[in-house]
Amino acid sequence: MFMVAKLKVPGLTIITNRLRHYFRNMDAKELQPPASVRGMQELQKDQFQKTVKVPRLRVPESQVQRVMPLVKKFLLKMEHLHPVRAVDKSREILLHPTPIKDWESLPTQDLQKQGITAENFCFAELELGYENWSANEILKSVLPTEEEGLTSYSRIGHIAHLNLREHLLPYKELIGQVLCDKLPNCRTVVNKASSIDNTYRNFQLELICGDPEYQVETKENGVPFEFDFSKVYWNPRLSTEHERIVKMLNSGDVLYDVFAGVGPFSVPAAKKRCHVLANDLNPESFHWLQHNSKRNKCLSNIKMFNKDGRQFILKELREDLLKRLLTTDTSSYGIHITMNLPAIAVEFLDAFRSLYKAEEMTELPANVTFPTVHVYSFAKGENTKGLVQKLVESNLGASLDQNLLSGINFVRNVAPNKDMYRVSFKLSLKLLTTPKEAEISRKRCAEEERMVTTKVKCA
């Protein structure tokens, strides 16, 4: 059994086998696209034609099965290129020029035992073209060397989604065409046209290649989703985070999803037989949330709302949570609240302050367990983890001590010195029944009292 390792290169993830070592073509100058294509802005496929000399073995047909294990790790691996070819009654094996410089570079003793000698080895010309290089290899050969290349893109169904930096915009049509040509099942390439600053938090897209078809089908952690990518928010880079939250949940738990989108938290949770209340302000997101819940056959476990997040907290969440706190054994199941709208979610935290009047909570059972909030936020600066905690505490109007704070988890880097975090904390009776202003006022009074005491002692 062999082990698999992943190597990161700009714009692509390459999977290599530690036992079958294949050599990177871009490390061999002779296997790189022609230098003349550097700076090309309009794709001209014929300009990638190139003749190279590569090492070859000519092996009788009867010997192929015994020879292949000896040279397999040296095969020339390129797109649309068969390294083993039928020639007359023999096979021609194309070898990679990086490890194989001459006959002596091969395991000659083992080959000679099979009747293969230096006479079977030669260098011969090979015609290469646009079809023989990957998207990463093509783009690396074209884009400017002095600037950062295409470092990443997202795949959502048949769509490739880019976020091109300004210096790459002159190459956007070429980049789009290369991705359409090279990525399996890619029919549409779009670029993020502006920052997310509209009410419904969806991307503003620019079509740069392919068909203007934005309704996609995709799977995340084994769960199928369908939606119109041009009208809702979806980021495949968050799939691991979605999975982390869903793994926290057990059957019978409760999830309040304040900014549910098309359902990446809510639908898997409902499939897991959790009790879910899911909300989103965007009518398109709400439509596809309903569609995905129906498609995944979990409608019986989910209630859906099309409201502003604050209104959802103040009404639906408030009513459902109060009923559970007063009439059920909350120690027997978990209650979670997800707030994944990282640009502004923290601004909704004050809705939990004084969510209930004190007299409404007088009948609470002794073993009551309050919900855990998972709020997502961006932080920009040096100590982003410390900054995001202060941001949450400021909007909540309370300090998160060790009794309340469950964890501050890094989610992903968004830009230089800008990170996304999940801050998880427990709500408490005090938070739910005390206005934010009153809490701040008490802190101020306590501080003033401390200062007065200090002055008296000094006097």
Query: Tokens representing 410?
Result: 């890094």
Which segments of 364-407 does DSSP mark as H helices, in order? 384-396
Distance CA 28, CA 13 (A): 19
End-to-end CA, the chain: 80
- Helix-helix angle 135-142:172-182, to 10 degrees: 160
Contact 368, 430 (CB under 8 A): no
Contact 397, 216 (CB under 8 A): no
List all residues 6 or more positions away from 169 whose beta carbon is below 8 Å from its beta carbon. Answer: none
Residue 152 has a pLDDT of: 82
Distance CA 316, CA 216 (A): 31
Residue 458 has a pLDDT of: 44
Q: In what helix (H) or strand (E) does residue 13 lie, and over which residues does it extend? A: strand 12-17
**248-443 adopts what CATH topology?**
Rossmann fold (3.40.50)
pLDDT tens digit string along 108-137?
999 999 999 999 999 999 999 999 999 999
pTM: 0.82
> Nearest to residue 45, comparing CAs of 183, 159, 141?
141
> Nearest to residue 111, comparing CAs of 76, 73, 66?
66
Confidence of residue 180 (pLDDT cuts 50, 70, 90): very high
Residue 8 has a pLDDT of: 38
Q: In what helix (H) or strand (E) does residue 455 lie, and over which residues does it extend? A: helix 436-458
pLDDT higher than threshold 80 for residue 350? yes
Chain mean position to CA 229? 15
Three-class SS of residue 237? helix
Strand positions, DSSP E, 383-456 = 405-415, 418-426
Residue 228 has a pLDDT of: 97
Q: Residue 403: exposed, middle, or buried by beta-carbon count in 10 A (0-12, 13-18, 19+)?
A: exposed
Tell me how many degrees the CA angle 155-158-163 measures, rounded to the nearest 5.
40
List all residues 6 or more positions away from 358 whose beta carbon is below 8 Å from its beta carbon. Answer: 433
Contact 176, 165 (CB under 8 A): no
Residue 196 has a pLDDT of: 56
Domain boundaries, the chain: 4-31+50-128, 136-213, 248-443
What sign does the dihedral 145-146-152-153 (CA atoms) show?
negative
Q: Mean per-residue pLDDT for 332-339?
A: 97
Q: How much is the mean pLDDT over the chain?
A: 89
Domain range 136-213, CATH class: alpha beta
Distance CA 240, CA 233 (A): 16
Residue 81 has a pLDDT of: 95
> Nearest to residue 244, comparing CAs of 219, 220, 228, 218?
220
Contact 158, 216 (CB under 8 A): yes
- Dihedral (C-alpha) 391, 392, 397, 399: value to the nearest 10 degrees? -100
Three-class SS of residue 211? coil
